[in-house]
Amino acid sequence: MCQISIDDRSTANYSANSELIVILKSYFDAGNKADSSQFDVVSLAVVSATKDEWIPFEIAWRKMLKKHRLDYLHTTDAVAGQGIYKNLKAEEREYFLRDCVKIAAKYSARATIDSVPGKFGIFCFVVSIVLKDFIAEYKKNPLAGDNADQALFRQALGEVLLWSENQAACDTCHFFFDQGEPYYGHLRHLLDNKKAKEQAYLLNKVVQRSEANSRFFPPLQLADLYAWAQSRRNQKNQKTWQKKLLNTHFRWQWFDSKNVSDVNKAHQLAFRSWNLPKRAATK
């Protein structure tokens, strides 16, 4: 896959009558897999912005990668010291990840808190599910969804579409997904379902969808960073960079035994009425 320049993926285009069309571009990436035999928690991160926010972020991100003489961020490999990071010392990898967090903090949207003014920027949202609690819930509740990936995506999709309408004031949405993950398929089934698009009218804003190689897309690398860190929110002995990232301004939802029954609860009957393809239950 060839590298695509920022201009080629411009987030604002002009229509034939010269009216500006504002496009929100969102990038989805997961932390861990929905497999309780391997992981305790699965997370899905989505980062969203328009051209005005993505361009300065990408410039800064690529400059930072060049500084560290690295081609991209893949958080799992960077933490483990494998792949392109295998020849880096632990302190070099920590320094690199700290720089990633600095850029994440600088360009992310921030809510106004007390006397500290907020700012518009990249909207970061992460939803996480504790797998054993999710499995226990669907086994006792016949109305609960039984596929964790599907539940994660629906939560994330709702957040992004509301942001696109109420905050970004965009005309259309373009969604990009890391390769090899199931979320692209979930969106495709929704957009191909006439009844879903009639009842959930904001779905009609999504006019482009595709999978992408995260090595060439800094926004996917940013989503990967948030998903990795949030999945391990409750682990002990966190690195300094992870603590700093989890203290940045981003929106997150965490579903465990206390609230897992609330996952997609408000829209569960609608989802069932759309007769979407059945997915295998999470184990």
**What pLDDT does 20 receive?**
75
Does residue 65 lie within any of the structural domains?
no
Does residue 17 lie within any of the structural domains?
yes
The helix (run of H) or strand (run of E) holding residue 30 is: strand 20-31
Does residue 78 lie within any of the structural domains?
no
Q: Given a cut of 60, is residue 18 above it in pLDDT? A: no
**What pLDDT does 272 receive?**
87
Does residue 263 lie within any of the structural domains?
yes
Give me the sign of the Cα torsion angle 155, 158, 163, 166.
Answer: negative
3-class DSSP state of 137: helix
- CB 216 within 8 Å of CB 114: no
Confidence of residue 116 (pLDDT cuts 50, 70, 90): low
Confidence of residue 19 (pLDDT cuts 50, 70, 90): low
What does the pLDDT look like over 244-283, one tens digit per residue? 999 998 999 999 999 999 998 878 888 889 988 889 999 9
**27: buried, middle or exposed (CB in 10 Å: 19+, 13-18, 0-12)?**
buried
What does the pLDDT look like over 207-252, one tens digit per residue? 999 999 999 999 999 999 999 999 999 998 899 999 999 999 899 9
Q: DSSP letter for 204, please.
A: G
Phi, psi at 276, each rounded to 5°: -70, 155
Q: Given a cut of 70, is residue 154 above it in pLDDT? A: yes
- CB 155 within 8 Å of CB 118: no
Does residue 61 lie within any of the structural domains?
no
Better pLDDT: 168 or 218: 218
**89: buried, middle or exposed (CB in 10 Å: 19+, 13-18, 0-12)?**
exposed
Lookup: tokens for 203? 């779905």
**What pLDDT does 269 receive?**
83
**What pLDDT does 3 receive?**
29
Does residue 162 lie within any of the structural domains?
yes
The average pLDDT across 102-109 equals 94
- State how many domains the chain has: 1
Does residue 161 lie within any of the structural domains?
yes
- The structure tokens 């799992």 sit at 76
The average pLDDT across 163-185 equals 93
Q: Given a cut of 90, is residue 139 above it in pLDDT? A: yes
Does residue 132 lie within any of the structural domains?
yes
Domain around 26: 11-49+123-273
- CB 197 within 8 Å of CB 203: yes
> pTM (2 decimals)?
0.90
